[in-house]
Amino acid sequence: MTSNKWMIKNGHFAVNGQDAGVIEGCMIIEDSRITYIGPTIPDGEENTPVVDGKGLLFLPGLVNTHGHAAMSLLRGYGDDMVLQQWLQEKMWPMEGKFTSTDVYWGTSLSVLEMLKGGTTTFLDMYDHMDEVAKVAEQSGIRACLMRGAIGLCSEEEQRMKLNEAVAFAKNWHGKADGRITTMMSPHSPYTCPPAFIEQFVQAAHDLNLPLHTHMSETLAEVEQNVREYGARPVEHLQKLGFFSRPSLVAHAVHLNDEEIQVLAQYDVGVSHNPGSNLKLASGVARVPDLLRAGVKVSLGTDGPASNNNLDMFEEMRLAALIHKGVSGDPTAVPAAEALRMTTEYGAVSIGLKEVGVLAAGNKADFIALDMDQPHFLPRTDLISHAVYSASAKDVVHVWVDGKQVLKDGSCLTLDEERIRYEAQAAFEGLLAR
């Protein structure tokens, strides 16, 4: 079988690592991988098919490390509310009506939005996960998927949810040419009894999979954990063995110094969701302190009902800005670090070692931004422009695993018109039930 080999020349490429910055030159892709990136075309490649990258800034594909994609159907349905009231009065009653078809079209709407905005990998914790996996497989996106489980139910229902989570992980891990990976995911310490969490930890050991959960999103949640279990969430999860597996926690807004050290000790990743945390007034996570302690901090949008978009450029900009404002330190999260949080750190946090950096040998997950626009001039610092000036609307092309999935702003793998129609119809169906 002949390989599919091609090159981009005349492009500007953002590279991470020790030589972080932008190089002008050429990148060669063969099948699903980058085989070369540098300022000049290597000898012997003169006849390789060429894509002209003039006027384009190429970034690693953005990695969204926490979300609930199907909740796009509830975008705008409940806003400007406290988290628990929002969940109990608006979200959970509507989510209880979701069918597998609703999840399919809600996820399709989100994946379409993510691809058009330059997100090439997303993490999703939800129900009806077979539908989410089908969308990931069809769309060409990379996905880390898990059946999230709330344990506030009978033991029989808990067993059913755990069995569903295990079956999903077994059925889908490594599928879609390796683009789909899985994790085990009890919803949170405040919605899952300790024994239920321990069962998920054991299942993660049995399946050799990482763990993911919501943790310390609100002060009320932390206080509840202390009342019910005599420990703050980090100590509570530590006692339950949660950190004995590679793990990623979402939010981690309310942490003390000791908890930050525990997360660093166990190499626990934190998915920072600045937009959602601000909208729900949950607080501002101690990201500069986490980074200083050596904790891998990535970025997530959370669900599109609490954000309310899936624009990872917006999250990146927020992450770079709010910690400056809160700390009084303009160097708290520099632009280059914010970009790494959105790409490299996100990939590492979900166990993807060959994603998140434009480098020879890595997977060819990358995006192209149109630089021929007023807000990209003058050409001073393109990393700065990508973080402080750009938005999802600047993305014109997207490749995942070496395959182009977005061209000139149009998705090549999904029927956008039908998805828009079906998503609106699904929401109206939920209201009518």
Closest CA to 349 of 252, 422, 419: 252
pLDDT in tens, 42-90: 999 988 999 999 999 999 999 999 999 999 999 999 999 888 898 899 9
Tokens of 428: 């109206």
Separation of alpha carbons 278 and 293, rounded Å? 24
pLDDT in tens, 214-238: 999 999 999 999 999 999 999 999 9
Q: Across the chain, which distance is largest between two alpha carbons, in Å?
A: 69
Q: Do the Cβ atoms of 183 and 144 come closer than 8 Å?
A: yes
β-pairing verdict for 119-126 and 142-149? parallel
* Region label for 360, one of left (φ > 0), alpha (ψ between -120 and 50) or beta (otherwise): beta
End-to-end CA distance of the chain: 52
Separation of alpha carbons 159 and 182, rounded Å? 19
Q: What's the alpha-carbon Rg for the chain, to the nearest Å?
A: 21
pLDDT in tens, 390-400: 999 999 999 99
Separation of alpha carbons 97 and 259, rounded Å? 38
Q: Do the Cβ atoms of 246 and 263 come closer than 8 Å?
A: no
* pTM above threshold 0.75: yes
DSSP label at residue 73:
G
DSSP labels for 362-375? Answer: SB--EEEEE--SGG
The pLDDT, as a whole number, for residue 83 is: 82
Closest CA to 46 of 5, 17, 85, 75: 5
